[in-house]
């Protein structure tokens, strides 16, 4: 007789593990929150890059269904149907938390006498899809470094997309059949994208024997304590660190000072306010740029230099009182990127052949915003092929808004585009009911479910 992990006789087999009825209820009622989920990246048979979530229930298979921010693999989806009264997860960690968001402190304007300067190196730009590969924290008091924390971090899985050929070589016929342990095995597979290795100098071999994030974060969290954090473009570092802390059962709610924000106000004459430009302006040498400890040290020195600059003409309290963020404007690089995006002209989309009138997108009005993994024109054609009506702007008649990654240099500090804000306003006013989708949500709706595991 099969035995559940709790020691009771088991009745249900789920993704290779046996559960008694009570433990099955617990598993289905307590899925991991979406913000704590990790994705697996792979190429489907049409060579599209797919970022697929791992199942929120069993944590052992790729999910093919997401409902109310809960991801289900096929087996757990079937099990859920046998327990229809199990509560749907509402996306919150607790009643006081931020739904589908991060628990973190506020961005403040200050030059504290004591703080912890932090920096992270990561596998990419997205805190929800990418991972930390190096953490550094410097405890600074009155301008002097009191203590240092630094560690490389082994990612939970490779960030080189898997191919269908690779899983076939391992004896699987579908991505859905592959246990997550296979994706986590980094012993003989590339881990980091080439551009990250080139940028940071951190190699796969340096990470294979590094501690995992759940070993590093408790030590980092204890080191930071309740001190104010400091970082350059701190929202990037703090977002990664907050999510990592949540994943490990801790909350990082420390307020933080962003030297990028200070530099934009204090040094408007600079052509840009990157850390390297700021260091050059203050004649500060960054020994090893894009390594966490060296960047954290450079950031701390820049903060102290800006503090000295402020004290030449005023006091810190007066500066804080009179501070205002400069008017936002996109950089030349961001504008170039914006105008380089191919515009969607609905009239240029190929007319669909026979369409399925029962398809969830057939006859629906759909708009795209942000940067997608695939060319936006291809996504628009995919929508048109199933009978959707592609539009260029949001209105009360819009049914779906597909939101890709947003460049904050283009959309501002809010991180939301004008189309997304307009959709939210329409929904709030009751004039429309626009469903906001991620790119992966859109692919699940529009794309066929192929044997290779296309979502």
pLDDT surpasses 90 at 174? no
Position 294 in a domain: yes
pLDDT of 413 reads 58
Would 334 be classed as within a structural domain?
no
Q: Does residue 36 sit in the same domain as residue 128?
A: no
Clarify whether residues 208 and 124 are in a common domain: yes
Examine the fold and report which residue of 261, 295, 322 is the final residue of a domain before the chain moves on: 322
225 has a pLDDT exceeding 90: yes
Which of 269 and 376 is assigned the larger pLDDT?
Answer: 269
Confidence check: pLDDT of 222 > 90: yes
Confidence tier at 173 by pLDDT (50, 70, 90): confident
Cα separation, 303 vs 291, in Å, equals: 18
Average pLDDT over residues 157-161: 87
Of 265, 290, 322, the domain-final residue = 322
349-361 pLDDT per residue, tens: 777 777 788 888 8
* pLDDT number for residue 356: 80
332 found inside a domain: no
Is residue 285 located within the same domain as residue 359? no
pLDDT in tens, 72-96: 777 777 776 665 444 333 333 333 3
What pLDDT does 23 receive? 74
Task: State the burial class of residue 230 (Cβ atoms within 10 Å of its Cβ: 0-12, 13-18, 19+).
Answer: buried
CATH number at residue 392: 3.40.50
pLDDT, residue 220, reads 97
Q: Is the dihedral of CA 196, 198, 204, 207 positive or negative?
A: negative
* Higher-scoring residue by pLDDT: 204, 330: 204
Angle between helices 74-82 and 21-29 (to 10 degrees): 110
The answer as to whether 165 is a domain residue is: no
Per the structure, the complete domain to which residue 394 belongs is given by: 341-446
Mean pLDDT of the chain: 81
The strand order across the sheet containing 229-231 reads 107-108, 256-258, 229-231, 114-122, 132-141, 144-152
Q: How far apart are CA 303 and CA 229, in angstroms?
A: 12
- The string of pLDDT tens digits covering residues 93-117 is 333 334 335 778 999 999 999 999 9
Residue that wins the pLDDT comparison between 410 and 249: 249
Number of domains in the chain: 3
């Amino acid at each position: 007789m099969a035995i559940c992990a709790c020691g009771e006789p088991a009745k249900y087999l789920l993704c290779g593990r046996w559960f008694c009825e009570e433990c099955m209820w617990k598993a289905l009622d307590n899925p991991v929150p979406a913000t704590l989920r990790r994705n697996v990246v792979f190429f489907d048979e049409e060579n599209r890059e797919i970022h697929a979530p791992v199942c929120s229930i069993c944590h052992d298979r790729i999910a093919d269904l997401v409902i109310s921010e809960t991801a289900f693999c096929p087996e757990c989806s079937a099990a859920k149907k046998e327990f229809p009264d199990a509560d749907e997860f509402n996306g919150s960690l607790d009643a006081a938390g931020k739904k589908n968001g991060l628990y973190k402190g506020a961005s403040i304007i200050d030059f504290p006498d004591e703080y912890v300067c932090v920096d992270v190196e990561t596998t990419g730009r997205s805190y929800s899809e990418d991972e930390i590969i190096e953490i550094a924290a410097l405890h600074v008091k009155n301008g002097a470094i009191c203590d240092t924390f630094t560690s490389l971090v082994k990612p939970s899985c490779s960030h080189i997309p898997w191919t269908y050929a690779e899983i076939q070589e391992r004896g699987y016929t579908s991505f859905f059949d592959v246990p997550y342990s296979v994706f986590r095995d980094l012993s003989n597979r590339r881990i980091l994208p080439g551009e990250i290795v080139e940028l940071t100098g951190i190699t796969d071999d340096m990470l294979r024997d590094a501690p995992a994030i759940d070993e590093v974060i408790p030590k980092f969290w204890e080191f930071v304590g309740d001190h104010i954090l400091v970082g350059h473009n701190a929202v990037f570092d703090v977002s990664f660190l907050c999510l990592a802390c949540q994943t490990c059962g801790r909350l990082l709610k420390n307020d933080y000072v962003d030297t990028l924000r200070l530099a934009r106000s204090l040094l408007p004459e600079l052509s840009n306010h990157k850390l390297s430009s700021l260091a050059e302006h203050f004649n500060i040498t960054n020994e090893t740029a894009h390594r966490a400890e060296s960047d954290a040290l450079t950031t701390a020195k820049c903060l102290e230099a800006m503090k000295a600059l402020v004290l030449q003409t005023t006091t810190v309290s007066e500066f804080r009182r009179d501070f205002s963020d400069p008017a936002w404007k996109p950089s030349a690089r961001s504008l170039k990127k914006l105008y380089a995006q191919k515009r969607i002209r609905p009239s240029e989309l190929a007319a669909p052949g026979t369409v399925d009138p029962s398809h969830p997108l057939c006859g629906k009005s759909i708009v795209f915003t942000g940067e997608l993994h695939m060319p936006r024109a291809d996504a628009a054609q995919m929508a048109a092929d199933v009978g959707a009506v592609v539009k260029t702007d949001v209105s009360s008649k819009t049914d779906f808004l597909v939101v890709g990654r947003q460049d904050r240099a283009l959309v501002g500090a809010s991180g939301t585009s004008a189309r997304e804000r307009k959709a939210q306003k329409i929904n709030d006013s009751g004039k429309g009911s626009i469903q906001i989708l991620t790119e992966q949500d859109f692919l699940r709706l529009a794309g066929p479910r192929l044997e290779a595991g296309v979502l």
